[in-house]
Amino acid sequence: RNVRLVLNVSLSQRTRTARMVSAIGGGSVHHIALGCADIFETVAKLRESGVDFVPISPNYYDDLLARLEIDPGLVERMRSMGILYDRSQGGEYFHIYSNSFADLFFFEIVQRAGSYDAYGALNAPARMASQAQAPATGKPAPSGAG
């Protein structure tokens, strides 16, 4: 697959998505996920280009080490870059979120390894908590957004 389209909505009015829909008077793009072959290299290049990413709580990585049999060196590498992780029997999923643009939407950079076919839903609470604490970039949304 080259394109995946995920449609979902929260019933809570307290989520960032619900506030955005209310503020702009209707539905919109919440985020766009872009796949890559090497997330560590991609994130390094994006940071060099001035892209800011949502900082993830150090507790997230401590929890990964406690829950999963995972290489501690890999976890430290993810921690140093703010990359989130999920896995299934068939593969692994690495992902990271940009700060939001004009408080409207954000980008997600993803790398799938093996036959992982989900979306890292277990990491949604870590993402939402971090986004709630991270300010929007104040940068305008790229042309055509929304």
Amino acid at 114: G
* Domain span at 34: 30-133
Q: Report residue 8 as tokens.
A: 């979902």
Give tens-digit pLDDT for 21-41: 677 666 667 778 899 999 999
pTM (global) more than 0.85? no
Cα 65 to Cα 53: distance, rounded to the nearest angstrom:
22
The string of pLDDT tens digits covering residues 107-138 is 999 999 988 876 666 767 677 667 677 655 54
d(CA 106, CA 104): 7
Residue 145 is assigned to a structural domain of this protein: no
Domain presence at residue 42 = yes
Taking only the tens place, the pLDDT of each residue in 65-102 is 999 999 999 999 999 999 999 998 989 999 998 988 77
Domain count, the chain: 1
Of 101, 111, 121, which Cα lies nearest the Cα of 20? 101
d(CA 2, CA 85): 21
Mean pLDDT of the chain: 80
